[in-house]
Structure 1
Amino acid sequence: MTASSPMVLSLLLFASLTALLVLAPRASSPPLPLPLPVVVGDEEAPPAAGGGAAGSSGGGAGVEEGPEDLALSRRVTLDASEGAAVASKVAFMFLTNSDLTFAPLWERFFAGHADRFNVYVHADPAVRLRLPPTPSFRGRFVAAKPTRRGDPSLIAAARRLLVAALLDDPANAYFALLSQHCVPLHSFPRLYEALFPPKAAHHHRLPSYIEVLAGEPQMPARYVARGDDAMLPEVPFDRFRIGSQFFTLARRHAVLVVRERRLWRKFREPCLPESQDSCYPEEHYFPTLLDMADPAGCTRYTLTRVNWTDSFEGHPHTYAAPEVSPRLIAELRQSNSSTYEHMFARKFAPDCLGPLMAIADTVIFKD
């Protein structure tokens, strides 16, 4: 017995140290900070890139998830509430690679409703914003990485915005993805009433407003953009969907997107060089995921109106100042459905700010 005591003590000590190493990180890890703004002196600037080189070339720029992205996504999995919030807010998430030209119009839209919304901005760190943010945008820049059109980096940026909004405020019940070229088409009360109708008692069952299209002529080319069988087995062709890049997701679907990894691994793969004209993963990932996960929970249409009638090199029609009028606003509000109107529109050139501000109170916000 005496001879075996040192061995027994050694085994007990080893077991204790092993348990300490396994349990200590779970018990003592401090909460991770929410990636919000960097302030430089009196001027606020977007945060520097969290990884990747600005202006980098090649497919998939900025799509590799760094430790900070994964850690924050895990926090959503552990902490994000999917239950009813005390107050239902709308998270306006701006994905931008240029100045927030229409911030003054959005400020007029937000005025008087500070308890019902939050703003989040993902600004490409390769671009220096010249216009100082107005009050609602001040302090709302999330940690960003470079983005590029027709690239999975845009999916990563949208996911990053969703993570920030989910962790920042449990009252965020809807998450609207917008660009710097988007403008509101109605007053804030009109939007809020449309998203949170009085008869809907529980916001967690409200629908997501995301365009989901099938049977479009361009779908075969888009499906094989990474190779004939690259999407298999996770995404067979009959489950592949396309839609608008811009959506308004209910909270349960925002949590679903942030937690999801299986389809994300497929859509983050770069497209073949010869398929670049068919590579728009930001228009494929979200509608495919939501249609596979909860088709009944999606309206299958977006609240953001886009004019593709005279598109050029994949860009929609860009409205210029002479086109802005009460008649244009009325036309943009209309949809193919009798049950809803568009709430936002794009794409507007910077010179539209003046004409839009001139009719903001008498037309746009007069419902």
Structure 2
Amino acid sequence: MPKKRLPASSSAASLLMVSSSSSSVRSRFWLGLKVVGVTSVFICLFAFLKIQAEYRASSFYLVKVQTAAEEAALSLAPFEGPPRVAFLFLARGGLPLDFLWHAFFQARVLQNGDAGKFSIYIHSKPGFVFDASTTRSPYFYGRQLKESVKVAWGESSMVQAERLLLKAALRDPANQRFALLSDRCVPLRNFSYIYNYLMSSSKSFVDSFVDVKDDRYNPKMFPTISKDKWRKGSQWATMVRKHAEVVVADDIIFPVFKTYCKRRPELDPRGSKKIVNILLALP
């Protein structure tokens, strides 16, 4: 039986349809490939810029703090007389152990006839005044800071109060050592022993260690504060002037610390000590 032939026009139309379909598939394939390529380039570029930004933030923020501290140090006028130890008290209200500190300071004055080797600064609740009605020691009269904040335990306000104490004490160029104290601290040695011990060393005395069980680090603080720079330690410390200047000049670490360390109690009374520890742990 003879085969039925298609009209010539039908064969040409079929060939055109097949050719058009193949061309459409190839076009879609190459378009998809171009989209993937362009997207990949943008992703790589974004990742590169993000890494660069993190590196710059991690590498340069300490330089900014150190520069500010150096500028503050250069602006200081020379001082006459012996260098001083600044005793910085962080109090809730009054100082319940003021009579012990009175005996401590009085022994120094009676022995040498002056108070030239120490200075006193107190951060208390706003509006609290140290006078004859609130303290048994004249050494504390009027020694409260004019600028003070309401302090809550476990909040960043504790760090802010300690920074205010350091800032006030740094205004006197004779203050060369800075001892952070609570209203419950007491002296265990006489003044001469403590003074000579602190002045004979060029180091700050801070308790700093890595607590492997500590879970207070917030990853959101990276890269400003990296996990390997996170330290734990006692709140109360003694600093040399250059470290006190760094803590006061800092405007990078503390804001991050304040933002991401919320009371859980991630942020505890050791706040300013953590700032010092982070700074000292940097290369």
- Residue matched to 2:124: 123
Q: 1:125 to 1:292 in 2, by over 3 A?
A: closer
| C-alpha separation in 1, matches of 2:170 and 2:136 | 22
- Residue matched to 1:214: 210
Once the two structures are superposed, the pairs formed by residues 235-254 of structure 1 within 5 Å of their partners are 235-254=225-244
* Greater per-residue strand proportion: 1
- Count residues with an aligned counterpart: 206
Structure 1 gaps, min length 5: 1-72, 201-205, 297-367
Amino acid at match of 1:294: L
Alpha-carbon deviations, 1:216-235, whole Å to 9, x = none?
41x22x113xxxx3211111
- Residue matched to 1:276: 264
- Quote the offset at 1:139 in angstroms: 1.8
| C-alpha separation in 2, matches of 1:188 and 1:84 | 22
| C-alpha separation in 1, matches of 2:234 and 2:73 | 30
Once the two structures are superposed, the pairs formed by residues 138-177 of structure 1 within 5 Å of their partners are 138-142=141-145, 143-167=147-171, 169-177=172-180
| C-alpha separation in 1, matches of 2:80 and 2:232 | 31
Structure 2 gaps, min length 5: 1-67, 110-114
Q: Which has the higher contact order (CA 8 A, sep 6+)?
A: 2
Identity %: 30
Amino acid at match of 1:210: V
- Residue matched to 1:194: 197
Max radius of gyration: which structure? 2
- Residue matched to 1:223: 217
CA RMSD between the two structures: 2.9
* Greater per-residue helix proportion: 2
Question: Which one of the candidate residues 223, 236, 255 is aligned to 1:233?
Answer: 223
Alpha-carbon deviations, 1:77-126, whole Å to 9, x = none?
37653988742110000001132111111011012341110000000127
Alpha-carbon deviations, 1:263-316, whole Å to 9, x = none?
0111112645xx613331x424433x33443359xxxxxxxxxxxxxxxxxxxx
Question: Which one of the candidate residues 245, 248, 251 is aligned to 1:261?
Answer: 251
SS at the partner of 2:101? helix
Please say if residues 178 and 240 of structure 2, whose CA atoms lie closer than 8 Å, have aligned partners that are also in contact.
yes
- Residue matched to 1:134: 137
Q: What TM-score comes out, normalization by structure 2 length?
A: 0.65
Alpha-carbon deviations, 1:1-50, whole Å to 9, x = none?
xxxxxxxxxxxxxxxxxxxxxxxxxxxxxxxxxxxxxxxxxxxxxxxxxx
Q: What TM-score comes out, normalization by structure 1 length?
A: 0.51
- Residue matched to 1:107: 102
Once the two structures are superposed, the pairs formed by residues 1-367 of structure 1 within 5 Å of their partners are 77=72, 81=76, 86-111=81-106, 112-113=108-109, 114-125=115-126, 131-132=134-135, 134-142=137-145, 143-167=147-171, 169-197=172-200, 206-217=202-213, 219-220=214-215, 222-224=216-218, 229-269=219-259, 271-272=261-262, 276-280=264-268, 282-287=269-274, 289-295=275-281
